[in-house]
């Protein structure tokens, strides 16, 4: 089955700096890659996603890049703010089986 | 839209008791997923439904767990009897029909503690 590795597991940045989270996946059949933000006591919230026919997508301060050849994708947060502090999960989706496989999560702390 | 609704938000019960978790998916969504989240295992898919029919229950840990979806707007996950190792946060998610069926939206979760 699909395996998604996520790094780093924790990330501490100064407010205003950028944060980058990287994920790799194993199954070349995966074709959809969402990112979720989970705040304490809440459910995962979809923040951005990318499909396999696109290399990069941006939405205000967040962007995602995808390298299908290398089977890795990354989340970039620019101009970080304290409210960006949360756990972020990457995931890979494969249509066969309709399954979303999650990475282990990255705990991001933005220090004021 | 109200989003995915789950109840209760917190449940504390004693070992051996029956526990029922409830979920209302987003209106118009025809896929419904149940996940379990623990520190050790992360987010695990337990079961999912399409048009109220269970499609894949391979993630259900054992026969103590059962899930139903009697109609398009309601699903339950039942644990009977409950055990301390079932303590976790249980999430329900739903996704729409068509080309965006891969996009899952999560509810707020139910934190289950089994003493």
Report the distance separating Cα A70 and Cα A104, nearest Å.
20
The residues, any chain, with a CB within 8 Å of residue B4's CB and separated by 6 or more, are: A43, B23, B24, B25, B26, B92, B93, B94, B105, B106, B107, B108
Residues B4, A43: C-beta atoms closer than 8 Å: yes
pLDDT digits (tens, 9 = 90+) for B11-65: 999 999 999 999 999 999 999 999 999 999 999 999 999 999 999 999 998 899 9
pLDDT digits (tens, 9 = 90+) for A48-75: 999 988 899 999 999 999 999 999 999 9
Report the distance separating Cα B91 and Cα A82, nearest Å.
26
Q: What is the CA radius of gyration of chain B?
A: 13
pLDDT digits (tens, 9 = 90+) for B56-89: 999 998 899 999 999 999 999 999 999 999 999 9
pLDDT given for residue A51 in this prediction: 92
Residues A45, B55: C-beta atoms closer than 8 Å: no
Please name the residue of chain A whose CA is at the shortest distance from the CA of residue B95. Answer: A98
Q: Does the pLDDT value for residue A90 go beyond 70? A: yes
Average pLDDT of the residues of chain A:
95
Residue B8, phi then psi, degrees to nearest 5: -75, 170
Report the distance separating Cα B111 and Cα B12, nearest Å.
8
Strands A86-94 and A56-59: unpaired
Task: Transcribe chain A into DSSP letters.
Answer: ---EEEE-SEEEEETTS-EEEEEEES-TT--EEEEEEE-TTS--EEEEEEETT-SEEEETTEEEEEETTTTEEEEEE-S--GGG-EEEEEEEEETTTTEEEE---EEEEEE-
Q: In this structure, what token pair is assigned to residue A107? A: 């705990």
Residues B56, A34: C-beta atoms closer than 8 Å: no
Residues A98, B105: C-beta atoms closer than 8 Å: no
A40 to B31, B33, B42: CA distances (angstroms): 26, 21, 15
Comparing C-alpha atoms, which of A21, A4, A16 is closest to residue A86? A21
pLDDT given for residue B1 in this prediction: 64
Question: Is the Cβ–Cβ distance between B86 and B114 less than 8 Å?
Answer: yes
Nearest to B42 among A45, A46, A104 (CB): A104
């Amino acid at each position: 089955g699909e395996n998604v590795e996520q790094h780093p597991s924790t990330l501490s940045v100064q407010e205003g700096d950028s944060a980058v989270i990287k994920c790799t996946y194993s199954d070349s059949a995966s074709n959809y890659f969402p990112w979720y933000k989970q705040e304490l006591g809440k459910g995962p919230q979809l923040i951005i996603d990318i499909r396999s026919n696109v290399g990069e997508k941006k939405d205000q301060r967040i962007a995602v890049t995808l390298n299908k050849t290398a089977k890795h994708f990354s989340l970039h947060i620019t101009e970080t703010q304290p409210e960006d502090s949360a756990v972020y999960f990457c995931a890979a989706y494969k249509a066969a089986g309709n399954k979303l496989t999650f990475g282990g999560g990255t705990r991001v702390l933005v220090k004021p | 839209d109200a989003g995915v609704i789950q109840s209760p938000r917190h449940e504390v019960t004693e070992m051996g008791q029956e526990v029922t978790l409830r979920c209302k998916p987003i209106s118009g969504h025809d896929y419904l997923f149940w996940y379990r989240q623990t520190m050790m295992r992360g987010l695990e898919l337990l079961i999912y439904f399409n048009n109220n029919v269970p499609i894949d229950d391979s993630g259900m840990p054992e026969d103590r767990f059962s899930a139903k979806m009697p109609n398009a707007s309601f699903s339950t996950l039942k644990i009977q009897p409950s055990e301390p190792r079932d303590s976790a946060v249980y999430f329900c998610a739903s996704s729409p029909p068509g080309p965006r069926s891969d996009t899952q939206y999560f509810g707020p979760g139910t934190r289950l503690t089994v003493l």
